[in-house]
Structure 1
Amino acid sequence: MRILWMLVLLTLAGSVFAADYAREKKWADEILPGIVVGNPVYLEQPNGHKFLTLYTPVKDAKAALVIVHGLGIHPDWGLIGVLRSQLPDHGYTTLSVQMPVLDNAAKAAAYTATFPDAVQRLKLAVDFLKAKGYGKIGFVSHSMGSRMSYEYLSAKPDPAIKAWVAIGMPISADYRKVNMPVLDLYGQNDLPDVLNNAAARKATLQGKPGSEQMQVARADHFFTDMDTQLVDIVATYLNQQFK
């Protein structure tokens, strides 16, 4: 009987924390009519689920960038929309990816159950860009998207990935586990988890070529009213990596 109950609980947990595909579709239905920059492209996972990406190619691009949003939102939201649509002006193709989302009431801790799904999507995004002929790829991620990117990048993925800008990383990620240069970027007025773990993250960047940590004065977790400064910081760092 105990084993039976454990199986029931595991089944319920899986149903509670499975990616909410209906919510993904709702996001897509809301944002696609207003997309001006970029083109919608659906990539398909092995389970048959097709997830939205927003692809903005640039002729003679310096590199292609996978753009990864935060908790429970979509690939054109807020600062992610700014980055995916403005970094092409700096010579970068962008592919902004719909990451797994849960129910609106789900807490950040619940999202760890979606990490295998997230890693799979990021690999498919990289494969898509490589199939388009891009031999140099970077990552630009925010908040929960930085955690998801860490899960993928710390597993030593495709060597075509040459740089990562991790914005608002909320954990003490060990950047020694990733094999590319990292910019750990956060705001002076960021979330407590981001600020409290900043020193630990910085310690893992020591001696890592091309890597640095940067705190931006007056910035909050979302770089509110600082779009131009955020894009300039990210582009300047990427330009150093993709010379």
Structure 2
Amino acid sequence: MNRLLWIIVCALVSNLAFSADYIREKKWADEVVPGVVVGDPVYLEQSNGHKFLTLYTPAKDAKAAVLIVHGMGVNPDWGLTGVLRSRLPDLGYSTLSIQMPVLASNAKGAAYSVTFPEAVQRLRLAVDFLKAKGYTNIALVTHSLGSRMSAVYMLNKPDVAIKTWVAIGMPDRVDYRKVSVPVLDLYGEHDLPDVLKSAAARKAVLQGKPASMQQMVAHADHFFDNMDEQLVTSVATYLDQRF
């Protein structure tokens, strides 16, 4: 095999190894959909024809819609995203929790950067879905890697319907000054090292940003395990100040 052909083969193998794993997504959907009690499964279609799962839960006389984005390698009903998507409608907020791109189960966080363009496309499609439902006020609520994915969207002229952003467990130094909407940077006292290490830098760029703040929740870990009430209260209290 000549050198050029070898380079092409290696590139193709690399792209296959680190591209969105649609088979894994389908397994998540097959597992999640039969157990959905609150809300309805809705599939949205990307430009490449791939349909991804979302869970839509309307609230009566909704104050706003909340677009919820999960963390690395999981699904739209997993853990704290499942808690938020099912509990916020009782507090007056319709929710749309969306499946973000996943890689193979052994992929590290750094590998996910290749999925960010597709993640942004899914966020745009989700916003379009909510706007078609009549929502003109949308909040973005994200967790962990989902917060990193959403930062790419929020730093590049998001839809004007997005009015605020709650970034939970943000594991990166994001310059929130470049985000056009108010931000709540929410994390746990016992969060992951990357989240805690960058917390001071994130707080610094929030200083003076209108209606924005950072909140550390005492005793909480990265996933707010056994702290559903504190999580929902923190998010809902901030949203109530915006809508």
Structure 1 distance, partners of 2:89, 2:215, is 23
1:32-61 residue CA offsets vs partner (Å, 9 max, x unmatched): 111100000000000000000000011221
Secondary structure, counterpart of 2:44 in structure 1:
strand
Partner of 1:38: 39
Structure 2 distance, partners of 1:58, 1:196, is 37
Structure 2 distance, partners of 1:186, 1:9, is 40
Partner of 2:111: 110
TM normalised by structure 2 equals 0.98
Question: Which amino acid in structure 1 is aligned with residue 125 of structure 2?
Answer: L
Offset, 1:98? 0.3
Secondary structure, counterpart of 1:204 in structure 2:
helix
Question: Which amino acid in structure 2 is aligned with residue 63 of structure 1?
Answer: A
Offset, 1:2? 4.4
Structure 2 distance, partners of 1:206, 1:106, is 35
1:177-205 residue CA offsets vs partner (Å, 9 max, x unmatched): 21110000000000000000001111111
Offset, 1:151? 0.8
Offset, 1:8? 2.4
Offset, 1:10? 2.1
Question: Which amino acid in structure 2 is aligned with residue 121 of structure 1?
Answer: R
Offset, 1:218? 0.6
Q: Within the alignment, does 1:163 sit opposite 2:164 as a pair? A: yes
What CA RMSD, in Å, does the superposition of the two structures yield over aligned residues? 0.9
Offset, 1:239? 0.6
Offset, 1:206? 1.2
1:70-124 residue CA offsets vs partner (Å, 9 max, x unmatched): 0000000011100000001110000000000010000000000100010000000
Q: Within the alignment, does 1:172 sit opposite 2:173 as a pair? A: yes
Partner of 2:210: 209
Structure 1 distance, partners of 2:3, 2:141, is 46
Partner of 1:219: 220
Partner of 1:238: 239
Structure 2 distance, partners of 1:235, 1:5, is 54
Segments of 5+ residues of structure 2 without an aligned counterpart are none
Offset, 1:5? 3.4
Structure 2 distance, partners of 1:63, 1:9, is 47
Structure 2 distance, partners of 1:2, 1:193, is 40
Question: Which amino acid in structure 2 is aligned with residue 211 of structure 1?
Answer: S
Offset, 1:11? 1.4
Identity percentage over the alignment?
70
Q: Within the alignment, does 1:143 sit opposite 2:164 as a pair? A: no
Q: How does 1:1-243 map to 2 (within 5 A)?
A: 1-242=2-243
TM normalised by structure 1 equals 0.98
Count the aligned residue pairs.
242
Segments of 5+ residues of structure 1 without an aligned counterpart are none
Question: Which amino acid in structure 1 is aligned with residue 106 of structure 2?
Answer: A
Question: Which amino acid in structure 2 is aligned with residue 35 of structure 1?
Answer: V
Offset, 1:132? 0.6
Structure 1 distance, partners of 2:65, 2:172, is 26
Secondary structure, counterpart of 2:125 in structure 1:
helix
